[in-house]
Structure 1
Amino acid sequence: MSTTLIVALVVGGLAIVIAIGFFSQAVERARLEKARAVAELHARWNHCNGINAALPGQFMSPDLKKLLLTVEAALLERLLSHDPRHEAAGRLAKVREQLAGAGASAGNPEMNISDETAAQKVRQQLGELLRVLELARQDGLIDDGTLLRWSQKIRRQRTEVTLNMLRALAEAAMQAGKPRVAKLQYERAVAYLSKQGANAPADQLAVFRHLLIQAEQAAAQMERAAPGTALSEGVQALEEDDQAWRKKALYDD
């Protein structure tokens, strides 16, 4: 065997080994990319499904239910195109059945939002809903007009959640004979609306300013009736509400 032939065989062997290595890497990259796509689609579908099921009824309309089911169906179709044997196959059939029939009606139970914890949870759900719709727009599942319309509505709902919570806390404080605590809650509402600038609903701002004046008058009347008691209560109210006041940034839009 000549030297030239030996060299050719060695070079050919190395080329084959290198080609096999590149091919293996390409196959592994494709496998990892598919796994990543499946995991991402599964997470997005799970998220969309969760919001569809858990969003309080006062924020879930038949139109929104149908929109979320449409997005969910599209995500499931993409998921099954990557993994036909995925467990989501059964769910896709149910979603299509709901879209074809009357199953897209809104049936979520309503939620009483009267404290910080409940308000924060609902605001988070609405924020996640907005993110689901933004991703759906990026995928071409909804158009710009649809996203704009729902974005505006969701932001209004987030504002309403905060205001309703603050008003509920203030009214509870007034009923408990603690007008200074109510005053602080109304101050939070006025500050929250004022931060929105030109976007702040003027009627809401006027309402809360009026309620604030009423609470201030009630607090002043209580202080005149029992100066020592009212002062002690006021100091305690300020201390108790300090942490809640610091948390107002949680509700910034």
Structure 2
Amino acid sequence: MDTTTIVLLLAAIVAVSLAIIVFSQMREKARIERVRKMTAQEDAYHKARRLLTDIPAQYLTSDLKLLLLKRMEDACKELSALKSEQPVGQWLENTQQARKEVLEGNDRRPPAKIDSPEKANQIKELLQSLFKLIEAMHKAGRLDAANARKNLKYVLFLVHKTHADLHVFQARDFIRQKQIRKAIHAYHLASTEMGKSSDNPLAKKAVKSFRIRIKELEEMSAEGSMNAENHTRLDKAWDNFLQDDDAWKKKADYDD
């Protein structure tokens, strides 16, 4: 075998070896990218599902529920295309069934009572995650601009409501401790929070109610007396703020 043949043979061996290495690297890169995509879609599915189940029912409009279900359904379809080993078929079937229930008005989850600062903070964090998810869906082209704006605006209103919740809980504690000045200040803070969504009719009603309550507390403080029955009624109205919109939209007996 002459020198030229040997050189060519060695060159061929090197070329084949390099081709094998490049092919292996490309294959590994594709595998890593596939795993990355599957992990991202699994995370997206579980995140949307958690928001749907953990955010109190009274906070979620039908539009928000359908938005979360759409994200779950999209994730399932992408996982199917990636041949995920997860039970994607069952996930998709459950998601489509839940979507059907929402569209038919049969989604009857009971409302959750938000009766502590801890719960209010937890819900605030969930709402902030929902806000970011809607933004991400819009940027990814999964949600048009009009619907993104509408839903983001409503979620922001809910965030303000949870901030107001915290101040209301503080005010109630101050009233039980007969610290009326501090209770009045807490209600002022709650009113300020709801005022940040001044274009929302429910927020306007809430601000009006807080102002009336502040006035009543000031009068009671001056008289040195407390009307527990009146406070119980107003507390109930606030607790049912999102559960019964009519209670806030109608001319109630605690309005001017």
Range of TM-score over shorter length: 0.7 to 0.9
1:124-135 matched pairs, under 5 angstroms: 124-135=125-136
Q: How is 1:1-253 mapped onto 2 (pairs within 5 angstroms)? A: 1-100=1-100, 105-189=106-190, 192=193, 196=196, 208=210, 211-212=213-214, 215=217
Counterparts of 1:75 and 1:81 in 2: how far apart (Å)? 10
**Larger helix proportion, structure 1 or 2?**
1
Q: Residues of 2 paired with 1:110 and 1:193: CA distance?
A: 21
In 2: Cα distance, 1:86 partner to 1:118 partner: 32
* Structure 1 residue 165 displacement after superposition: 3.3
Q: Deviations over 1:110-136 (max 9, x none)?
A: 222233211111111111112222222
TM-score by length of 1: 0.74
Residue 232 (structure 2) aligns with: none
TM-score (norm 2): 0.73
Contact 1:166-1:189 within 8 A present in 2 as well: yes
In structure 1, how many angstroms separate the alpha carbons of the residues matched to 2:155 and 2:197? 18
Shift of 1:152: 0.4
Q: Unpaired runs of 5+ in structure 1? A: 226-253
Q: Give, in whole Å, the separation in 2 of the partners of 1:24 and 1:18.
A: 10
Distance 1:84 1:191 in 2: 49
Displacement of 1:167 in angstroms is 2.2
Matched residues in 1 for 2:43 and 2:154: separation? 25
* Structure 2, unpaired ranges of 5+: 226-256
Asked if 2 retains the 8 angstrom alpha-carbon contact of 1:97 and 1:103, the reply is no
Per-residue Cα deviation, 1:183-221 (whole angstroms, up to 9, x for no partner): 342353356568x59889676556545655655666677
Report the CA distance shift for 1:28/1:93 in structure 2 as closer, same or farther (over 3 A): same
Letter in 2 for 1:32: I
> Which has the higher mean CA deviation after the structures are superposed, 51-60 or 91-100?
91-100
- State the shift of 1:145 in Å: 0.8
Distance 1:197 1:152, change over 3 A: closer
* Same amino acid, percent of matched pairs: 20
For this pair of structures, how many residues does the alignment match? 222
Q: Is the 8 A contact 1:38 1:79 kept in 2?
A: yes
Deviation at residue 83 of structure 1 after TM alignment:
1.8
- RMSD, aligned CA: 3.0
